[in-house]
A and B are shown apart, each in its own frame.
Chain A
Amino acid sequence: MAVPVDTTPLLELKGITKRFPGVLALSNVSFSVGRAEVVALIGENGAGKSTLMKTLGGVHQPDEGEIFFDGKKVTISKVADAIALGIGFVHQELNVLDNLDVAANVFMGREPLVGGPLRLVNQRRMWTESETYLKRLGLAISPTKLLNELSIAQQQMVEIAKALSQNARVIIMDEPTSSLTLSETDRLLATIKDLRASGVSVIYISHRLGEIEQIADRAVALRDGRNAGELARGQIKHENMVALMVGRKLEDLFVKGKGPQERGYFQVEGLRTAYRPHHRIGFDVAKGEILGFAGLVGAGRSEMAQAIFGVEPPLEGTVRLGGQELKIRNSREAIDAGIYLVPEDRRHTGLITSMTIRENITMPGLKRYSPGMLISRAREEEVSKREVAALRVKTPSIETRAMNLSGGNQQKVVLGKWLSLEPKLIIFDEPTRGIDVGAKAEIYRLMRELADRGVAIIMVSSDMEEVLGVSDRIAVMHEGDITGILPRDQFSEKAIMSLATGRKAP
């Protein structure tokens, strides 16, 4: 554990206030980071975490307040100032150039030169130096590897290596694990511990409270742009954090439902996907049941979902819904059969973010609202208003563009697309990724309501808490196979992990 030698904090923000036209984004916020300390910054979306971090990164300038680094008052007016001070950023959406190699990414903008008027890059030095940083992070990859050949986790390590190469003394990690697998998450957490041991501080922003319990020395909560309290190492517990973030006790996040109604309603047999052509999977889902799919990223869960939904049609396999065999060759046929997918990447595949809520909601069923192939604006408005109200989407109007909504509300709009039709089976792929606690609870409640109405639900999730809390049964995948399907009385993190790493069910 960290033993701060010097007691003055490495970084201290005092009374930071930031106004945007019409709104107060941060109000008198104080925040500090000790030497070799891991501080978690928690809060719901919109609480001001990113704005606060952007004042550190030189993106925003605070209207009031002071920033001290190493005991000295500093002004961070541009990104380069932050880098010069030793503040490194690892963004949620990675800022890598995936067409270039590792060394080029690590040294982007600060390439060592051979000298001379041509400003030739000293390639050799870039390789050897980036190799040292990679080694320090325990990453056995060549610095000449192209970024697009690396996994997301490895790309993130490259970003950390870049921060280290800039002599970062504090590294800000914004939702670093949101697209990592469980084992990759563990590796990242171990890396953070190593960083701390070597004297680097980390500001860790995450919605995954379990990770914060494991790693943080201190947790600072923001709520509505204000300090909402702080937890010391011993107090960092799930309930305490949620209480600080939402300012109230959250009613049970997970709702119990009526449970399965009609076994074998949806059946899959011998499904082969182009992604893993040598593996076949089979399972069934009852009406009213939520079947969780756990496993490591890359186990083939999303590919299975895409195959059932027909966007990447399966090579082979039988799919039955309500006893009827379906041949699904494209997503249109799946939709016509009542099979819908709420995809993993809602900004890219779930929604057309530049279009309005109305246009997004009516997209899959547009022909129904278009007598003679001409769109009836009145019916569109009726349908989208109904869904927006039913799902309680927080928006000024149905003509708001999807890009202007928060993650949780975007996800509700994706759901609205499908609920406006007649769902029989809905596949949720990572339904709450990047969504704050309050909105999560609502999504879970909606899933349960749908199940109780007789919809069969498949939920692919890498969030252990979610899989255990929401599912009626859990199927675990490992490298293209289903290694086991657990009934509720056998639910445990350990059982899932051992199946996810390839041990067959006993």
Chain B
Amino acid sequence: MKKELGITILLVVLCVIVAVLNPRFLGASNVTNMARLIGMYGIFSIGMGLVIITSGIDLSVGSVFALQGVILAIMLREWNLPWPMAVLAVIIGVILLGILHGWFIAYIRMQPFIVTLCGLLFYRGLARFVANDETKGFGSSGFELLRHLATGSIGPVPMPFVLLIIVGIVSYVVLHRSVFGRYLYAVGRNEDAARYSGINSRMIILSTYAVEMLLVAIAGILIAFYTNSISPANHGQSYELYAIAAAVLGGCSLRGGEGSIIGIIIGTALLQVLQNLVNLLGIPSSLNFAVMGAVIFLGVLVDQLSGQRKKKQQVLARAPAPTTPTPAAPTQAAR
């Protein structure tokens, strides 16, 4: 909760600063556009957050976007498949990739970084090969429902943002209220102890990668229709890094066992505000990444420093209590 509070304050402060410096920040079209991007990025960042809570990581997300994008475009425009079939095929295919990643990580015990780094390279290459290195697209008409999901709105609220709210609520319940969620934290923090409590830790890890890829598939379809053209060489490039940054800013620890849905969503929002800030404040767009890197760094640094101070206070508070029978004396803690 503390962590979410800190980043929320940071978000609000940034918004106020940008709004004061450039009132266009609060203009309807700017807000809508930002909400749309937050929606799309938020959905896959939640997936990344879940994976990070298992103490894993997924570097392959951006390449998966490219691969699923070109395949979806080919299925719809070149093979003329009915769209529900194509969409279902893409979602199932991407979930299978997640199961595959999860299996290598949980059962073969390969490191998540390596497995998904190879995925990053492999899927990107495959996407370019499948598309013959040509840009694929969905044309200017047809597939209205899918287009609507990516570019439409309900009243003033863009559809992707609506979807993010739905995905957010469902994953909040799963992560914070369900048995699966509790097990996820347990496995991420201490897999051995989880196993000794009868938790099938491998299945939990595998399922998490599958769920993550479901969210990636959904976000990927939105992104494909949002851009409407998919150039296989750079579509979705480095999106996994945005997701990791959002999750970490939102309180997920790469050591696992920590993080929350609300934090991840706020983290995503913060990243989008930063992007927007660069545009609106007339900062040279070449500095885009530098600004983002610096703010993320500062956010995590402040969090780390306040965490250390809190820890120190805890240790002091746990100091030996010879006069009271509190169980937590430091000599024991030190043992």
Contact = CB atoms under 8 A, between A and B. Distances in A.
Contacts of B321: 22-23, 46
A367 B318 CA distance: 34
Contacts of A23: 319-324
Given A45-B331, A354-B189, A396 B326 contact: yes
B140 interface: no
A51 B179 CA distance: 41
A175 B335 contact: yes
Given A47-B331, A406-B332, A370 B179 contact: yes
Contacts of A396: 326
Q: Which of B185, B317, B327, B334 has the most CB of A within 10 A?
A: B327
Contacts of A363: 182, 186, 194, 197, 199
Nearest to A351: B193
Interface string B158-195: 00000000000000010001111011011001101111
Interface residues of A, number: 63
B208 to A, nearest CB: 16
Contact of A355 (B189, B318, B324, B331): B189
B326 to A, nearest CB: 7
A404 B333 contact: yes
A20 B316 contact: yes
B319 A20 contact: yes
Interface in B298-335: 314, 316-335
Nearest to A380: B182
Contact of B193 (A226, A348, A395, A434): A348
Contacts of B317: 21-22
B186 A352 contact: yes
Contact of A375 (B177, B189, B193, B198): B177
B328 to A, nearest CB: 4
Interface stretch (A113-121, A327-335, A452-460): A327-335
B322 A225 contact: yes
Contacts of A9: none
A311 B182 contact: no
Nearest to A306: B196
A364 B198 contact: yes
B328 A355 contact: no
B184 to A, nearest CB: 12
B332 A335 contact: no
Nearest to A405: B327
B186 A45 contact: no
Contacts of A354: 189-190, 257
Contacts of B193: 348-352
B200 interface: yes
A21 B318 contact: no
A349 B196 contact: yes
Q: Which of A309, A336, A352 has the most CB of B within 10 A?
A: A352
Interface in A316-363: 330-332, 334-336, 341, 343, 348-355, 359, 363
A27 B322 contact: yes
Contacts of B185: 355
Contacts of A335: 197-198
A44 to B, nearest CB: 10
Contact of A434 (B195, B318, B335): B335
Q: Which of B317, B325, B330 has the most CB of A within 10 A?
A: B330
Contacts of A395: 327
B328 A51 contact: no
B200 A330 contact: yes
Interface residues of B, number: 42
Contact of A366 (B182, B190, B320, B331): B182
A449 interface: no
Nearest to A45: B332
Given A225-B322, A331-B196, A25 B327 contact: no
A362 to B, nearest CB: 8
A407 B318 CA distance: 14
B197 A417 contact: yes
Interface string B45-82: 00000000000000000000000000000000000000
Contacts of A434: 335
B198 A331 contact: yes
Given A20-B320, A394-B325, A407 B332 contact: yes
A309 B192 CA distance: 13
Interface in A79-94: 92-93
B179 A48 contact: no
A403 B185 CA distance: 16
Given A23-B322, A51-B320, A226-B322, A409 B196 contact: no
Contact of B198 (A45, A332, A349): A332
Contacts of B325: 394
B178 A348 contact: no
A5 interface: no
A21 B319 contact: yes
A213 interface: no
A132 to B, nearest CB: 33
B177 A374 contact: yes
B332 A46 contact: yes
Contacts of B333: 403-404
A50 interface: yes
Nearest to A395: B327
A224 B322 contact: yes
Contacts of B257: 352, 354
Given A20-B319, A21-B317, A374 B189 contact: no
A235 B200 CA distance: 54
Contacts of A405: 327-328, 332
A193 interface: no
B186 A355 contact: yes
A330 B197 CA distance: 11
B328 A332 contact: no
Contacts of A364: 197-198
Given A23-B321, A352-B194, A394-B326, A46 B331 contact: yes
A49 interface: yes
Contact of A374 (B173, B194, B334): B173
Given A46-B332, A50-B335, 18 more contacts: A20-B319, A25-B319, A46-B320, A51-B331, A54-B334, A330-B198, A341-B196, A352-B194, A363-B186, A366-B183, A370-B179, A373-B178, A375-B177, A394-B326, A394-B327, A405-B332, A407-B332, A409-B327
6 contacts: A20-B319, A23-B323, A46-B332, A47-B331, A332-B200, A395-B327
In order of increasing CB-CB distance, the 6 nearest A-B pairs are A20-B319, A46-B329, A225-B322, A50-B331, A394-B327, A224-B322
